[in-house]
Amino acid sequence: MSAWIQIAFAAGGEELNAKFVERVRALDPDLPLFVVSEFRPAHGVWIPYFVLRSVSENTQGIRAAIDGKRIARCSMLLDRSTPHFKLRAAGFLLAPLQARFFDEQLNHFELRPSSLFGILRHWKRRLGAWVRFQANPGGDLFVFLWRCLHPSHFRRPIRHLVAVNVGRITGVVKALLPAKSDPPPGPALERGISVVIPSRNGRGLLTRLLPGVVRDLAGIASEIIVIDNGSIDGTQAVLAEQFADVRVEVNAEPLAFAAAVNRGIAAARYSHVCLLNNDMVLEPGFFRPMLAAFDEVPDLFCATAQILFPPGVRREETGKAVMPPRTFAERCTDFPVRCDEPVAGENLSYVLYGSGGCSLYDKDKLRRVGCFGEMFRPAYVEDLDTGYRGWLRGWPTVYVAAARVVHHHRSTTSRYYTAEELDLVLDMNYLRFLMRSVASAETFRKLWRLAVWRLNLKGSGHFPSFTAAAALGFSARAPKWLERPLANPYPEELILGLGSGAIAVFPGKPRSGRPTVLVASPYVPFPLSHGGAVRMFNLMRGAARDFDQVLVCFVDELATPPAELLEICNEIVLVRRRGTHLIPSTVRPHVVEEFDAPAFHGALQQTVRKWKPVVAQLEFTQMAQYAADCAPAKTIMVEHDVTFDLYRQLLTQGGEWETRRELPRWERFEREAWRKVDCVVTMSEKDRAMVSGARAVTLLNGVDLERFRHSGREAECNRILFIGAFQHLPNLMAVRFFLEGVWPKLQKYSPTLHIIAGRRPQFYLERYRDTAFVDLNVPGVEVEEFVVDVRPAYERAAIVIAPLLASAGTNIKIMEAMAMNKAIVSTPAGVNGLDLEAGRDVIVTETAAEMAEAIAALFEDPGKRTAIEEQARRTAESKYDWVRIAEEQKRLYESLLQG
């Protein structure tokens, strides 16, 4: 490659960036092209641009990527619709004298006297475009002049400005207000259920609802209280005639929903209060699972039911009420709270609040939060407010799947209010909620800004919402509902995480009463798609004989967990991880920041509170950041590999600037993490020797000797097998090493190379294209993605290879191959940390030539290959049986409990 290159800074939209890169290539086709952009371009060597890093840090990365090459042209895209100012600044700082600027039409100029007319033409076009924009609908000047002619249209922007400043001032006031203490618990009440049903002219609805309520309360200490809320349809007479045991509280004039139910709550005699709308119909078995939830979830505030709708009616509510995180960039005009569809099998998942129309509350806790706020008139958001106030005290709300109701939506409210009036009420009451109940100034400012931004968006555009504009005007009055914050509230970042819809809880096998072990993992340990999953699943399966187990893990999408995990766990908590490249630049490693989620912190804390585990096992290095959330359980950090050791090895192979950047971060984070846990588990004695400042033990990786057993099938002639997920960079480096250095030397044997590359191999080939490019379009090479059962692949193979150049931890695939009676040819890194005898258990080679020679010798000498295969199986049986390793893990747990 020439020492001269050209570099393009693609700072536009996706389509324009593609045209820009093509244009730059065409102008200088003989110069190698490097492209700096957020996302990988179709052409050129990609240099990733990290949006949340500083200009200086990005510039350092770019300099390292071009590796001393001289820049002949530095092209920058000036797309005024894309505010990538820092990206353009990095380009200008990198090579100001070689700078070449392109506009949206891909006209370009340079910063030199000869380009003066080009520069003037560019600014003339820019000025003309600005004037045209300003002089047409949508331009600031046009809008201002139009509003001058229509003064009433100044109302919305002024209201928005006022609302923004109301939020700023209120944030300051909230930070200065003295905290208030919570009322003490009241006297114990008889365990039972008081059902409170507000009803206004709902005689027919009540006669449909009440028979099911009465039947379902049979055998439970209970009472039914109907709040006759200004009815004129003869409700009292019908109830007296048909439901004599129902207590009726009469309001001569209709009250708001909150005021009506508060009257019923005050009259309730039992420990739990169930609020039911009169337009609900209960399915059998409603009350018992709701009440049982209070026995399962400590300090439970509210259990809320699953809401269904009549056939043919769109399901507007589900009971799983959540508030997903939002940003201003999303420009979303939907109401901030929504109902998610439940996942099959989930139960007792955490939600932000319970629906006021079908939820069971702890009456004393309800009293202590102030019941329902009567400023929420006539209805809506009071249940969100109450649930949030419960969470602030650390009292959860959960979704109960088995308690099911059918909702005939707005059968009452729609008789008295139009849809527009109800929309306005909803928006105003949400602002009341923010003022009243959000405790921290920081959280309030964020939620308030998003709320008024949404209303401003709804109130503008071609089809403006006049209710949104009215709600903006109301915001100036919202501070009258400002209250003193609660002393020592539960962190609101965790409340919003728990109520974001990112968490689903799945019950597994029943509790046994044995000590509980909690396992926290960044990945689901089934299917067995990588070595970490193999280890976790087999050791969890072994531990299930002696302990109850709870698994908390990240997933890409919420779905019912595999049956294999539900059979060995008492509960599985899944936390959806929002994949994004917008990772903040901090002193911690990139992957640690990637796996830092408030929802996971909250889920861990609530799971620890619920299950009281004696041991919490944090799988993989990045999960050590959650150690504090597991208190008071004893904590184990499982080092599947010592990460900074792996990064050191990658640097010896010519690792890129990103690797050099991450190494000190990993070393600092990892060493600090060791000191924060009670024990560190490593895969080998070599790794254990690196651990300092903490107790460390070695629990080897292993193999299921019953499952991985040679069937006696004859291997195919000269067939080679490599198993390694491409998502792990060292596996790609290993394939490249083998194909470039070893494969050409074996061609006289007409070999076949079978690669099992894990999930989405093409994605990772593209991702690491500039780091470890691998051309798999080679005769004799077969590539498969993830394979559920790898045993047939082992049986067909004559030789298994492990040509790794960098490795930490130990390679489970080596043990599987040994158990399958396979001859293995490896580099030293491929058998890193394993106590194996070279030449007897496995063939170890240093160079590509040595590896080719060793494979050829095994092809030519079946007797030698058979001897190695038989010895490999014997060694696997003596050292790497999961049953024996699970026993060692059990002894480790017991020693932690005794210590």
Mean pLDDT over 275-300 rounds to: 96
Mean pLDDT of the chain: 92
What are 507's strand-pairing partners? 571
Q: How many helices (H) and strands (E) does the chain have?
A: 31, 31
Residue 706 CA: distances (Å) to CA of 428, 702, 703, 866, 875: 65, 12, 9, 21, 15
650 — pLDDT class (breaks 50, 70, 90): confident
The one-letter amino acid at 79:
D
Is residue 891 pLDDT above 60, yes or no?
Answer: yes
Q: Are the beta carbons of 516 and 614 closer than 8 angstroms? A: yes
Nearest by Cα to 320 from 336, 303, 332, 334: 303
pLDDT digits (tens, 9 = 90+) for 87-133: 999 999 999 989 999 998 898 888 777 777 777 887 888 788 778 87
pLDDT digits (tens, 9 = 90+) for 496-551: 999 999 999 999 999 999 999 999 999 999 998 888 999 999 999 999 999 999 99
Give one word for 558, left, alpha or beta, with left for phi > 0 and alpha for psi -120 to 50. beta
pLDDT digits (tens, 9 = 90+) for 811-862: 889 999 999 999 999 999 999 888 899 999 999 999 999 999 999 999 999 9
pLDDT digits (tens, 9 = 90+) for 716-736: 999 999 999 998 889 999 999
Mean pLDDT over 857-870 rounds to: 94
Mean pLDDT over 17-28 rounds to: 94
What the block records as the tokens of 786 is 């993830």
The one-letter amino acid at 2:
S
Judged on CB neighbours under 10 Å (0-12, 13-18, 19+), 184 is exposed
Predicted pLDDT at 214: 95
Cα(600)–Cα(596) distance, integer angstroms: 8
Is residue 654 pLDDT above 80, yes or no?
Answer: no
Predicted pLDDT at 126: 79
Nearest by Cα to 343 from 314, 322, 313, 312: 322
Is residue 672 pLDDT above 60, yes or no?
Answer: yes
1 — pLDDT class (breaks 50, 70, 90): very low
Is residue 893 pLDDT above 90, yes or no?
Answer: yes
Predicted pLDDT at 700: 93
**In percent, how much of the chain has pLDDT > 70?**
98
Predicted pLDDT at 411: 54
Q: Which letter does DSSP use for residue 180 in this model?
A: B
Other Cβ atoms closer than 10 A to 487: 11
pLDDT digits (tens, 9 = 90+) for 347-404: 999 999 999 999 999 999 999 999 999 999 888 999 999 999 999 999 999 999 999 9
Backbone angles phi, psi at 84, to 5 degrees: -90, 60
